[in-house]
């Protein structure tokens, strides 16, 4: 069974990462969500990644804030694609998480998306685009979604077209 694994460093990340899950559900993509911290529960994180990969995880999405080492730890444990979602918070409002997630050493890639909710949604879309390379039905759904988004144009009160 192929699925997308969503790992959060803290249960407080759920309200943001729920948007990722909802996006995957909208397209009928199987997923599972767990909380496992790279720092507070490293053994659990290691065990989970190995088991998820054996069960059929094709893409991992890792959401974490502040030091945000979760995506890098996951990437060190698998050769499956890993997408990092930096969480907003802390003194730097998520910039520290963004930099920790995006600045991986050569040979240890982590695809990194925007901080917070937009990143959560984009992580789902990126995961689906990866899956769609081997799934024509999903590829067609994504193309249709893109066409529908492009049609969402209105004219504002000054006669200027606005893309919604």
156 carries a ligand binding annotation: no
Residue 156 falls inside a structural domain: no
Confidence of residue 157 (pLDDT cuts 50, 70, 90): confident
Phi first, then psi: what are they for 80, rounded to 5°?
A: -75, 155
Which pLDDT tens digit goes with each residue over 102-129?
Answer: 999 999 999 999 999 999 999 999 999 9
More confident residue, 94 or 80: 80
Question: Helix, strand, or coil here: 156?
Answer: coil
Domains of the chain: total = 1
| Closest by CA position to 97, among listed 61, 71, 67, 74 | 67
Query: Taking the C-alpha atoms of 65, 69, 71 and 72 in order, what is their torsion angle to the nearest 10 degrees?
Result: 160
Tell me, yes or no, whether 144 lies in a domain.
Answer: no
Q: Is 37 annotated as a binding residue?
A: no
**78 three-state secondary structure:** coil
Decide if 62 is inside a domain. yes
pLDDT score recorded for residue 89: 84
Q: What is the CATH number of the domain that holds 126?
A: 3.40.50.1970
Residue 10 among known ligand-binding residues? yes
Helix H or strand E segment including 84: strand 82-87
pLDDT for residue 33 is more than 90: yes
| Pairing label, strands 57-65, 3-8 | parallel
Q: Is residue 8 part of a domain?
A: yes
Domain that holds residue 108: 3-135
- 154 found inside a domain: no
Confidence tier at 154 by pLDDT (50, 70, 90)? low
Of 119, 78, 121, 125, the residue nearest 102 (C-alpha): 119
Residue 141 lies in a domain: no
Q: Please indicate, yes or no, if residue 31 is contained in any of the structural domains.
A: yes
pTM: 0.91
Task: With respect to residue 159, please indicate whether it lies within any of the assigned structural domains.
Answer: no
């Amino acid at each position: 069974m192929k699925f997308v694994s969503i790992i959060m460093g803290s249960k407080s990340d759920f309200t943001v990462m729920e948007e990722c899950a909802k996006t995957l559900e909208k397209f009928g993509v199987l997923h599972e969500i767990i909380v496992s911290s790279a720092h507070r529960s490293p053994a659990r994180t290691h065990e989970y990644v190995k088991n998820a990969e054996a069960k059929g995880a094709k893409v991992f999405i890792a959401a974490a804030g502040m030091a945000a080492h979760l995506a890098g730890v996951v990437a060190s444990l698998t050769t499956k694609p890993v997408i990092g979602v930096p969480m907003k918070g802390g003194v730097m409002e998520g910039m520290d998480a963004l930099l920790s997630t995006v600045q991986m050493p050569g040979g240890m890639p982590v695809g990194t998306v925007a901080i917070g909710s937009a990143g959560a949604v984009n992580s789902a879309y990126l995961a689906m685009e990866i899956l769609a390379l081997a799934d024509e039905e999903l590829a067609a759904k994504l193309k249709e979604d893109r066409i529908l988004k492009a049609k969402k144009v209105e004219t504002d009160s000054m006669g200027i077209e606005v893309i919604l």
